[in-house]
Every structure is written in structure tokens, then in C-alpha cells.
């Protein structure tokens, strides 16, 4: 099977439903404005040579000579496909944001200078009109006198140079950065292109990403990548079978309690009953720093990329949290909880490990695998890296064609990521489905250069690794949920003081819980939960007679509901 076909098959796993949003009023392309020919009643767009700039961060060790060679190979594709030449600007990662800001500020200076020059021309036209001359006649006369030529020098190359007031495609990283560019009108809305000329992107870019970046419109195309990380519950196959445990009855950590206790009681040599301490999975805490808080919720996923949240009276009322606290106390007192690692030759009966889809391959032979916490996309994930089109672009549609290549064309994508073929890398003669590094002159972060699923995961690894039914990124993204709190900051000026009080109460409560023995927790946790309820922490949250902590939850809930369009 060809690499191109493999790429297409892999990418279709991210197919979006056929429901399209309405087109935005994207500005006309320069070709539509100036490059049309009319034959009878049919208007045909004339495609002409155009040069666009592409800005992205790179490793400090990348040489500019390597960048030029990459630019040459990219242009063999872009010029043949679209008559578009790319001027590649690869700036060291530490200096990238400063370089983009400087470019935008520089364009503003250019526009100011151009406006001043236009005003001078207008005044000059008025002055010349009094003498019966036009500005064009005056300038032609001056040019002939100064240079001896009838026409000023022109750029006669096939592809014109990028103008000093031109910025086309650039990389945005981070949610706040993205909002800042939108608020300051420094990015183009791309909905119109997504629904017409570049609609293929909807097939290749993970649907959740496009949904989340829609801030009254899509202003950047996220680079498709692996979402979040798993927390996997691992259950020892050999021990289950030896001691006749039914794996179908062990879907959660709580279900594994008897198995862990039995293995611990046997005191088997070289076997750790529980690999390390475990917290309840899928928890999100409402606090200024994301740490443990009495207000929180579990993200519930049905593994169709949907997630819900239901506010609880307190996290101690969430069964998974309560059960996990008691189980950890019991197992720790018995000495059945390890430090999270095992020595060579040792094994564990049950454990929870964090990581990506490669964990399935690493542990699948020896352990049954259940999902303790699913991967989920948060702000850091969704807005990690995105290509945007500047309002100073030469042409929005032509820029989007290049962004589409970075998400759909394996050859183009691989060159931008790994460098020039035959210069920085080559196909492995022993295994032509992988590539081999030739030098370190060109280094890129794979998530900064486009859709990671259509290029090689790394040197020596085939593209088909992305599409493996069990081990691949496909499974991880399909297993993922979306955080319902994307774009929602629970702390604001109205409730900051209340959140500070909540943090104090949470720290005091956690300290009390941690100090309890297993027996004390069994006997006292119920009364502690009642105490919190009697203090009106969330139970009757809109009753003015309740405690000062209550207003924190009320304000937080109100702001969350407003951010998510709920009454």
C-alpha cells in the first residue's frame, strides 16, 4: 500500500459530520479582484504567480542554509500545484513570538508611512493641477530625467517578492494568545474557506478542535495531534488466572479491592499488591490553582467525545472520590501500596499508570487494561498550535491552500517537519516505509508543523503506526472526552475573595481527612460530609442565610452557566 493511501486511510478516522456552519464574509482574494477574464457570460478566475510568507518556530540549532533547502523543496510542490511560492521564515523558538510581534508592529509602521506618503501625493496632485499637470505626467518626466528610461525598474521575476507590509501564514500557540489576536483583528476569519475551497480540512482535523477554536468564528486551524493522556488501570493476567479472578467483574479500582487484599495477604515474593497511590479518575477541581478543592466534579465520558458535568454538593459526596479515599487508607495501613515503581524481576497485581497510547503495547501482554481516566482535551491541548492567516496577507484563499497542504499532503508535511529529502533525511534502504536522519541541521517540533498523523512519528517509525487499531493515536483520540471548562476561568474579580476562603476551607478539610486512620474515616467521613452540608457548602446554595463559602459556589456556577450558554 502506498504512503499516500495509508495517509488518507488514517486521516479519515477524524471525519466530521456533514453539518456545516454558515459561510462568513471572507474578503475577496486578490485574484477575484484583479485577475479575472470574461468569456461570454462565464467569469473565470485567472491563477497567477504569487509569493506568500510562512512563519514558524524552530530549534535554535536549525541552520538557515537548511531552511533555504527546505524552502526550495516545498516550492517545487506549491508552485506546481497552486502557482504559489513560499518564503519560509523559521525563527528560533525562544525568539518566535517576539519576531511575530515585531513583524506586526513593523507593518503598522509601514502602513503609517504609506498613509503619510499618500497624503503627500494628494497635496502634490493639488499643486500640480494648478499648473495644468497630472501627477503621472510629472513622475514620468522626473523618471526620464533621472534615469534616462521611460519606465522605472520593475520586478521581472516569475514570483514577486514578499512586500514589507505582508504577513501571510503564522503559528499561534495558546488560548490567551489566540483571543488576543482575535480581539485586535490580527487574524482572518476562516469559516468561508472551511466551508468552500478548504473544506477538506474538516476531514483531516479533529472535529473537537475546530469546535473549540470557534470563537464566534474559526480564526485558526489547529494542528491535529494526540489528545491528553490516559490513566490506565492494569490488572495482572497471570495472578488473575492463577487465583481464578473474573476480569469481567473488575472494571474499576474499587472492583479490584478484594483481589488486591488477597494478593497482599498471600505476601507473594516479588509482587507489589498495588503499584502506587491512586486518586479518583477524571476529577476537575474548582480552585485558583487547580489543586484539590471541596468544589469539583468528574468529567463523565461515554467515549463518543461527549462529556457532561453535574455540580456536586462537595467532592466528598462523589462516590468515586469517597471510595478511593477509604480504599487508599485501608491498603496503605496494611502496607500494600508501593511507591509507584517496581524493581527488576518484580511485578504488581494492580496499578494505575499515566501516559499515551503506547502504554497499551507496553503492558498489554502481561496486564488486563481498563481505563481509570480517559484522555480529555483542555485549553492547553486544543490551543496548543494553530496556523492562522494574517489580515496583512496577500490572499486568504491561497494561504489556506498552503495550510491545507500541511494537513493533507504527506510529502509537503514531511519536508517541513524533517527537512529536505536527501539533505537532512532519506528513505531507509532496508525499510522504505521509514526515514533515516542524515544530520541535525534542521529540527522542528512535530506539533508545530501541521497534522502529525500524515507524517512519520519519528525517524525509524512508519506512518502506519498512527493507524494501528489498538495501539495508535486513533484509539486515544476516540477514547477522549472534551473538558466542559474550555474557555471558562472559575475565578474572576467578583468571586476571587470567596475562592480564597474556599481554598482555606479545602486545605483544612483535606488535612483532617489525611490525618484520619481507615477506621476513623469509615466512622467520621459521614459526619464530616454532614458538617459541610450544615455549613451550607453548596446544599442550599442560593439561600441568603447560608455561610459565606456558599457564595463562591453560586458565583462560580453562574459564571460557568453563562459561559456555556445556560440559564
At 427-447, the pLDDT tens digits run 999 888 999 999 999 999 999
Percent pLDDT > 90 in the chain is: 54
At 234-246, the pLDDT tens digits run 999 999 999 999 9
Work out the pLDDT band at 529, boundaries 50, 70, 90: confident
CB count within 10 Å of CB 119 equals 10
Give me the pLDDT at residue 2, please: 42
Give me the pLDDT at residue 543, please: 40
Spell out the alpha helix ranges (H) of 175-230.
Answer: 175-183, 191-194, 201-204, 207-212
Put simply, whether the predicted model's pTM sits higher than 0.95 gets the answer no
Degrees to nearest 5, angle at CA 431 with 429 and 435: 80
Give me the pLDDT at residue 523, please: 93
The whole-angstrom separation of Cα 82 and Cα 400 is 11
Bridge partners, 350 (sequence order): 235, 274
Give me the pLDDT at residue 551, please: 56
Orientation angle between helical segments 518-534 and 496-515, nearest 10 degrees: 150
Q: Please, which contacts does 418-423 make with residues 24 or more away whose CB atoms are closer than 8 Å?
A: 418/442, 418/444, 418/455, 418/456, 418/459, 419/66, 419/69, 419/70, 420/66, 420/69, 420/70, 420/72, 420/73, 421/73, 423/66, 423/69
At 189-213, the pLDDT tens digits run 999 999 999 999 999 998 889 988 9
Give me the pLDDT at residue 128, please: 66
The three grid cell numbers given for residue 35, joined into one nine-digit string? 485577475
Degrees to nearest 5, angle at CA 493 with 492 and 497: 95
Strands 300-301 and 283-285: unpaired
Region 104-122: mean pLDDT is 74
Q: Left if phi > 0, otherwise alpha if psi is -120 to 50, otherwise beta: which for 451?
A: beta
The three grid cell numbers given for residue 53, joined into one nine-digit string? 510568507
At 81-109, the pLDDT tens digits run 999 999 999 999 999 999 999 999 888 77
Q: Who's near 69: CB < 8 A, 6+ residues apart?
A: 419, 420, 423, 424
Work out the pLDDT band at 59, boundaries 50, 70, 90: very high
The answer on pLDDT for 497 being more than 80 is no
Region 525-538: mean pLDDT is 72
Residue 88: name the closest of 412, 360, 528 by CA: 412
Give me the pLDDT at residue 135, please: 62
The whole-angstrom separation of Cα 409 and Cα 342 is 44
Give me the pLDDT at residue 151, please: 45
Work out the pLDDT band at 65, boundaries 50, 70, 90: very high
Degrees to nearest 5, angle at CA 360 with 354 and 362: 85
When mean pLDDT is compared across 268-282, 309-323, 391-405, the lowest value belongs to 309-323
When mean pLDDT is compared across 29-38, 332-341, 365-374, 478-487, the lowest value belongs to 29-38
Q: Is 294:314 a contact under the CB 8 Å cutoff? A: yes
The answer on pLDDT for 396 being more than 90 is yes
Q: Is 180:383 a contact under the CB 8 Å cutoff? A: no
CB count within 10 Å of CB 211 equals 16
Give me the pLDDT at residue 443, please: 97
At 328-372, the pLDDT tens digits run 999 999 999 999 998 888 899 999 999 998 899 899 999 999 999
Give me the pLDDT at residue 230, please: 94
The whole-angstrom separation of Cα 280 and Cα 384 is 27
CB count within 10 Å of CB 60 equals 11
Task: State whether the Cα torsion 452-453-454-458 is positive or negative.
Answer: positive
When comparing pLDDT for 217 and 44, which is higher?
217
Q: Is 46:37 a contact under the CB 8 Å cutoff? A: yes
Please tell me the total number of residues recorded for the chain in this structure.
567
Residue that the C-alpha cell 475546530 belongs to: 210
When comparing pLDDT for 197 and 143, which is higher?
197
Bridge partners, 481 (sequence order): 376
Give me the pLDDT at residue 317, please: 84
Work out the pLDDT band at 293, boundaries 50, 70, 90: confident
Q: Is 455:419 a contact under the CB 8 Å cutoff? A: no
CB count within 10 Å of CB 123 equals 10
Region 280-293: mean pLDDT is 81
Give me the pLDDT at residue 116, please: 67
Residue 387: name the closest of 56, 84, 166, 7 by CA: 56
Residue 461: name the closest of 493, 492, 434 by CA: 434
Q: Left if phi > 0, otherwise alpha if psi is -120 to 50, otherwise beta: which for 282?
A: left
Full 3-state SS string of 243-305: CCCCHHHCCCCHHHHHHHHHHHHHCCCCEEEECCCCCCCCEEECCCCCCCCCCEEECEECCCC
Bridge partners, 194 (sequence order): none
The whole-angstrom separation of Cα 299 and Cα 469 is 25
Region 18-36: mean pLDDT is 39
Q: Which fold has domain 3-15+50-112+155-226+382-465?
A: D-Maltodextrin-Binding Protein; domain 2 (3.40.190)
Most confident listed range (11-15, 44-48, 233-237): 233-237
Give me the pLDDT at residue 28, please: 44
The answer on pLDDT for 143 being more than 80 is no
225: number of CA atoms within 13 Å, CB side? 20
Degrees to nearest 5, angle at CA 390 with 386 and 395: 115
Region 478-498: mean pLDDT is 74
Mean of pLDDT over the chain? 81
When comparing pLDDT for 383 and 532, which is higher?
383
Amino acid at each position: 500500500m502506498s504512503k499516500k493511501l495509508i495517509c488518507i486511510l488514517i486521516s479519515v478516522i477524524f471525519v466530521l459530520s456533514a453539518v456545516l456552519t454558515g459561510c462568513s464574509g471572507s474578503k475577496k482574494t486578490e485574484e477575484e479582484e484583479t485577475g479575472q477574464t470574461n468569456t461570454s457570460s462565464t467569469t473565470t478566475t485567472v491563477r497567477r504567480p504569487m509569493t506568500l510568507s510562512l512563519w514558524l518556530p524552530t530549534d535554535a540549532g536549525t541552520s538557515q542554509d537548511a531552511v533555504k533547502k527546505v524552502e526550495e523543496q516545498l516550492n517545487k510542490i506549491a508552485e506546481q500545484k497552486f502557482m504559489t511560492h513560499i518564503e519560509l521564515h523559521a525563527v528560533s523558538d525562544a525568539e518566535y513570538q517576539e519576531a511575530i510581534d515585531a513583524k506586526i508592529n513593523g507593518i503598522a509602521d509601514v502602513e503609517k508611512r504609506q498613509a503619510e506618503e499618500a497624503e503627500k501625493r494628494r497635496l502634490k496632485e493639488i499643486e500640480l493641477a494648478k499648473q495644468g499637470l497630472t501627477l503621472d505626467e510629472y513622475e514620468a518626466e522626473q523618471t526620464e530625467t533621472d534615469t534616462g528610461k521611460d519606465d522605472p525598474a520593475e520586478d521581472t521575476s516569475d514570483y514577486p517578492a514578499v512586500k514589507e507590509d505582508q504577513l501571510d501564514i503564522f503559528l499561534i500557540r495558546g488560548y490567551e494568545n489566540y483571543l488576543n489576536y482575535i480581539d485586535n483583528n490580527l487574524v482572518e476569519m476562516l469559516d468561508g474557506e472551511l466551508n468552500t475551497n478548504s473544506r477538506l480540512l474538516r476531514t483531516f482535523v479533529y472535529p473537537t478542535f475546530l469546535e473549540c477554536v470557534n470563537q464566534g468564528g474559526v480564526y485558526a486551524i489547529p494542528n491535529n495531534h494526540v489528545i491528553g493522556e490516559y490513566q490506565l488501570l492494569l490488572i495482572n493476567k497471570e495472578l488473575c488466572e492463577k487465583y481464578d479472578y473474573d476480569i469481567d467483574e473488575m472494571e474499576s479500582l474499587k472492583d479490584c479491592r478484594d483481589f488486591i487484599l488477597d494478593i497482599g495477604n498471600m505476601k507473594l515474593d516479588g509482587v507489589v499488591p498495588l503499584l502506587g497511590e491512586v486518586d479518583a479518575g477524571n476529577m476537575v477541581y474548582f480552585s485558583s490553582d487547580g489543586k484539590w478543592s471541596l468544589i469539583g466534579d468528574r468529567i463523565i465520558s461515554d467515549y463518543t467525545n461527549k462529556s457532561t458535568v453535574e455540580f456536586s454538593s462537595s467532592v466528598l459526596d462523589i462516590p468515586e472520590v469517597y471510595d478511593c479515599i477509604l480504599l487508599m487508607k485501608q491498603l496503605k495501613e496494611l502496607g500494600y501500596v508501593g511507591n509507584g515503581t517496581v524493581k527488576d524481576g518484580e511485578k504488581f497485581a494492580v496499578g494505575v499508570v499515566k501516559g499515551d497510547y503506547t502504554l497499551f503495547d507496553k503492558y498489554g501482554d502481561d496486564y488486563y487494561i481498563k481505563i481509570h481516566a480517559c484522555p480529555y482535551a483542555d485549553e492547553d491541548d486544543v490551543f496548543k498550535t494553530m496556523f492562522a492567516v494574517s489580515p496583512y496577507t496577500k490572499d486568504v484563499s491561497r494561504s489556506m491552500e498552503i495550510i491545507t497542504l500541511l494537513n493533507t499532503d504527506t510529502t509537503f508535511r514531511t519536508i517541513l517537519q524533517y527537512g529536505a529529502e536527501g539533505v537532512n533525511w532519506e528513505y531507509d534502504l532496508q525499510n522504505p516505509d521509514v526515514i533515516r536522519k542524515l544530520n541535525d541541521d534542521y529540527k522542528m517540533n512535530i506539533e508545530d508543523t501541521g497534522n502529525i498523523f500524515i507524517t512519520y512519528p519519528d525517524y525509524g517509525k512508519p506512518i502506519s503506526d498512527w493507524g494501528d487499531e489498538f495501539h495508535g493515536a486513533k484509539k486515544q483520540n476516540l477514547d477522549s472526552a472534551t473538558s466542559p471548562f474550555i474557555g471558562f476561568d472559575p475565578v474572576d474579580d467578583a468571586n476571587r475573595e470567596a475562592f480564597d476562603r474556599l481554598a482555606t476551607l479545602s486545605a483544612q478539610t483535606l488535612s483532617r481527612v489525611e490525618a484520619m486512620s481507615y477506621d476513623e474515616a469509615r466512622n467520621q467521613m459521614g459526619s464530616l460530609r454532614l458538617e459541610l452540608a450544615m455549613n451550607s457548602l453548596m446544599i442550599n446554595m442560593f439561600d441568603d442565610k447560608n455561610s459565606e463559602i456558599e457564595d463562591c459556589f453560586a458565583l462560580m456556577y453562574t459564571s460557568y452557566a453563562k459561559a456555556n450558554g445556560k440559564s
